[in-house]
């Protein structure tokens, strides 16, 4: 692809992502749940062990997106948005190889289109700028932990949000990007006593519009003034750095809230490396289908 074709495809992908957002009735500045959005668009979404694949899309006999249950949560979300791109652009059967990620200049037009669609759907310029404004952060001065929080909020990986803000939105200069990438997610997790092989989702009072999705064994970092409904699904682990760290103990639902700030958020917990239909992943064990 030449540069002109890339620009044309990028414009097409961005416009289609906005159309899908309108179709799914998602507020223009709100983060998006790609799995729920894919289901609204008529796709069945299923988790399976895919040893050598990121994901699969097939339009027949009915549209289905299969996501690798072994992949990190942020990667699964991005893969779902990518496969949804193949669906909305009617690309036919697609199988994404685990090690097949290529630079944009080597990508096929269909893969480039799906990639830009995914980035635009999950992290549109409007959504990113609103998230930064709400938190009083400046993109050109943003810190690694702040970017990690944004990645949590958008439901994607740390490096994914850095590259998107650098390459697609041009909000971060490449010199700053190099410094940000030197910090690894495990370093940020360690600040809260969370192991490198577990997820730590940092939630603040600007987390709105969508639930906090985690897996059993993951940690949820909440402001210290936050309360959590009495439930067996979420347990207080420790208080550290002015925050309360909770452990996702079992599959199910919980709610965190702050009466003073008139704020609340739902927490949904799935089994680690869950396999099955996406819509059943948060059901409590006794409700398994």
Q: What does the pLDDT look like over 233-287, one tens digit per residue? A: 999 999 998 899 999 999 999 999 999 989 999 999 999 999 999 999 999 765 4
Give the residue from 155, 152, 134, 150 showing the smallest Cα distance to 206: 134
Cα–Cα separations (whole angstroms), residue 140 to 57, 143, 157, 175, 289: 37, 9, 20, 10, 48
Cα–Cα separations (whole angstroms), residue 110 to 2, 18, 81, 125, 169: 14, 18, 14, 22, 21
* Separation CA 281–CA 46 (nearest Å): 10
Q: What is the pLDDT of residues 4-31, one digit of tens each?
A: 899 999 999 999 999 999 999 999 999 9
* Separation CA 195–CA 198 (nearest Å): 6
> Is the pLDDT higher at 289 or at 105?
105
Question: For the structural domain made of 3-122, what CATH number should be given?
Answer: 1.10.10.2910
Q: What is the pLDDT of residues 204-227, one digit of tens each?
A: 999 999 999 999 999 999 999 999
| Cα 122 to the center of its chain, rounded Å | 7
Residue 80's pLDDT is: 97
Q: What is the pLDDT of residues 65-111, one digit of tens each?
A: 999 999 999 999 999 999 999 999 999 999 988 765 544 457 899 99
Residue 102's pLDDT is: 47
Separate counts of helices (H) and strands (E) for the chain:
9, 13
Give the residue from 195, 201, 243, 193 showing the smallest Cα distance to 219: 201
* Fold adopted by 193-277: Immunoglobulin-like (2.60.40)
For 103-127, what is the mean pLDDT? 88
Residue 284's pLDDT is: 73
Residue 51's pLDDT is: 83
pLDDT for residue 230 is more than 90? no
* Separation CA 203–CA 207 (nearest Å): 6
Residue 285's pLDDT is: 61
For 119-124, what is the mean pLDDT? 96
Provide the token pair at 244.
């309360």
Cα–Cα separations (whole angstroms), residue 135 to 91, 132, 146: 39, 5, 9
Largest CA distance in the chain: 57
Residue 101's pLDDT is: 53
Residue 3's pLDDT is: 87
Q: What is the pLDDT of residues 166-208, one digit of tens each?
A: 999 999 999 999 999 999 999 999 999 999 989 999 999 999 9
Domain ranges of the chain: 3-122, 134-183, 193-277
> Is the pLDDT higher at 208 or at 288?
208
**Positive or negative torsion for Cα 70, 71, 77, 83:** negative
Total-model pTM:
0.92
* Separation CA 226–CA 202 (nearest Å): 13
């Amino acid at each position: 692809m030449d540069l002109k074709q890339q620009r044309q495809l990028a414009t097409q992908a961005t416009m289609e992502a906005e159309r899908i957002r309108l179709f799914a009735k998602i507020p223009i500045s709100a983060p998006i749940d790609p799995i729920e959005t894919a289901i609204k668009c008529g796709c069945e979404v299923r988790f399976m062990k895919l040893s050598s694949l990121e994901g699969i899309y097939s339009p027949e006999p009915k549209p289905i997106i299969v996501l690798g249950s072994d992949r990190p949560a942020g990667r699964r979300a991005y893969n779902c948005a990518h496969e949804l791109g193949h669906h909305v652009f009617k690309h036919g059967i697609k199988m994404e190889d685990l090690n097949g990620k290529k630079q944009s200049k080597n990508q096929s037009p269909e893969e480039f289109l799906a990639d830009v669609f995914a980035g635009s759907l999950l992290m549109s310029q409007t959504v990113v700028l609103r998230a930064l404004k709400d938190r009083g952060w400046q993109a050109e001065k943003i810190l690694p932990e702040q970017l990690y929080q944004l990645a949590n909020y958008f439901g994607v990986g740390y490096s994914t949000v850095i590259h998107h803000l650098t390459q697609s939105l041009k909000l971060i200069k490449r010199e700053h990007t190099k410094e940000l990438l030197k910090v690894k997610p495990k370093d940020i997790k360690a600040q809260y006593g969370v192991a490198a092989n577990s997820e730590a989702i940092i939630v603040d009072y600007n987390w709105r519009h969508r639930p906090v999705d985690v897996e059993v064994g993951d940690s949820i970092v909440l402001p210290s003034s936050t309360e959590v409904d009495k439930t067996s699904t979420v347990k207080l682990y420790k208080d550290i750095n002015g925050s309360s760290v909770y452990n996702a103990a079992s599959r199910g639902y919980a709610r965190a809230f702050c009466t003073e700030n008139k704020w609340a958020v739902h927490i949904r917990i799935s089994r680690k490396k869950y396999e099955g239909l996406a819509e059943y992943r948060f059901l409590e064990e006794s409700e398994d289908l």
